[in-house]
A = this chain, B = another copy of it.
């Protein structure tokens, strides 16, 4: 058994049995070893941003890390933008990065660069194996690092000779530390704050935003009058009919400040105090009112759901909640296309337990309101603001959940960053319906230009935030990667095509030209 084989067996033993990859020479032994370990599924991406984003989407849906396989420093670098999003999503994720053989690194061969420096910008754990006999134990430690609460990125760098050298066999899984349990004193302290009667909100993040945590929070809210909120940019929300409704902090600073106005207490559950996404002249960075006290019910590595349960008990909160969302299918739209009609059609036709990958950007600003009547579903946000996440996350979520339909609600400018995702969807036959909002611009930047009080855009500036001249044709782009695609010219078209796409097996793309 060589190092590569010991690695893959160790990963499989530790529950990591999917690897998204874009390999090169230094990873050939890993690739070659795949056939000797049938439990490991290998998924090829044609660009590393697809690979890391898919691993993020996979782990958001399964709670288990996927591995990535990347080719030296440039392969790592190409994956960083979506690792940034994964880091912000607190996603457990394990990068395997091939490196020059230990004895070859000294020669500064053309592909040499500082992989560890790149890896540390996003990883909580980085290690370079130096002997083939260490690869298995290093891999087991890496999986444990990825699973360390709340979930983090671990990067294992493997010089080629550690892959092809002899190994002793796989290593046993290493248990990650459990999520910390908060002291009873903290529960009592927060309960006292909530009993004060002063205006308060509970801000959920991470795992606590899933239905179980949101239900506890809603019970607490009913017992105390506290509002229940979620971070705007969060890995995953379980919402739709039967799930508790959670207010989200909006992106525009003025709206966020207005939403939080009057609060005297903000109770954070694994969250940070909300801040403005960007700085704008004359606007605050901190969104909560200056006299609002910030309390931590839990820190990110602590068990937020357990703490919410304890808090609900302490407050003797009612067992049932009154903020469950209701199914209410809008009537199917007709006539000319608008963004709102598209979301109405999606809400009406969405199958139960769909997964929505939301990178609609400006076309998705009001999506939470427009999809209020949807059946139960999961919603995956862009977490770190690095665009090009939506299609890869949809891809990984579809690998994770082959029995569920994935809806990728996708803006055009962002889609261009990682459009190669469509090819992986086609190869793997993934059930993803991509709704491509083509507004021929980085529309968000039109607002941002005003937001930062820049002088009005002249003709050169306007060209830099326009995607027109030439217009992108997403039907051609999708077909070029083997994904059936159509363009909806009106709402009736869209309804027909969306229905057909949801019924289809395998990926489809529907382009809608808006704005």
Is B278's CB under 8 angstroms from A25's CB? yes
Cα distance, A42 to B327, chains bound together (Å): 49
Is A454's CB under 8 angstroms from B164's CB? yes
Which stretch in A259-267, A296-304, A445-453 binds the other chain?
A445-453
Is A233's CB under 8 angstroms from B449's CB? no
Partner of A28, one of B80, B454, B479: B454
Q: Does A420 contact B (CB under 8 A)?
A: yes
Is B122's CB under 8 angstroms from A121's CB? no
Given the known interface contacts A31-B461, A47-B416, the answer about A279 and B477 at a Cβ–Cβ threshold of 8 Å is no
Q: Does A464 contact B (CB under 8 A)?
A: yes
Greatest chain B CB density within 10 A among A23, A32, A75, A233 is at A32
Partner of A285, one of B88, B104, B121, B451: B104
Which stretch in A175-183, A190-198, A352-360, A382-390 binds the other chain?
A382-390
Cα distance, A464 to B35, chains bound together (Å): 11
Distance from A477 Cβ to chain B, minimum over Cβ atoms (Å): 4
Given the known interface contacts A476-B480, A477-B476, the answer about A278 and B100 at a Cβ–Cβ threshold of 8 Å is yes
Cα distance, A120 to B116, chains bound together (Å): 12
Cα distance, A173 to B75, chains bound together (Å): 36
Within 8 A of B (CB), among A249-296: 272, 275-279, 281, 285-286
Is B74's CB under 8 angstroms from A80's CB? yes
Cα distance, A33 to B453, chains bound together (Å): 12
Q: Does A160 contact B (CB under 8 A)?
A: yes
Q: Does A426 contact B (CB under 8 A)?
A: yes
Q: Does A471 contact B (CB under 8 A)?
A: yes
Is A449's CB under 8 angstroms from B277's CB? no
Partner of A74, one of B114, B386, B444: B386
With a cutoff of 8 Å between Cβ atoms, the chain B residues found around residue A207 in the complex are none
Greatest chain B CB density within 10 A among A100, A107, A482 is at A107
Is B107's CB under 8 angstroms from A286's CB? yes
Q: Does A24 contact B (CB under 8 A)?
A: yes
Chain B, Cβ-Cβ closest to A450: B28
Given the known interface contacts A473-B480, A480-B474, the answer about A114 and B110 at a Cβ–Cβ threshold of 8 Å is no
Partner of A471, one of B36, B164, B455, B482: B482
Is B479's CB under 8 angstroms from A276's CB? no
Is A277's CB under 8 angstroms from B160's CB? no
Is A385's CB under 8 angstroms from B110's CB? yes
Q: Does A423 contact B (CB under 8 A)?
A: yes
Q: Which A-B residue pairs are the 10 nearest by beta carbons?
A: A470-B482, A35-B458, A476-B480, A477-B480, A101-B279, A74-B386, A77-B80, A32-B454, A104-B279, A74-B81
15 contacts between A and B (CB under 8 A): A25-B445, A28-B452, A42-B463, A44-B463, A77-B78, A77-B84, A78-B388, A78-B417, A100-B278, A109-B278, A109-B285, A110-B385, A161-B281, A472-B480, A473-B482
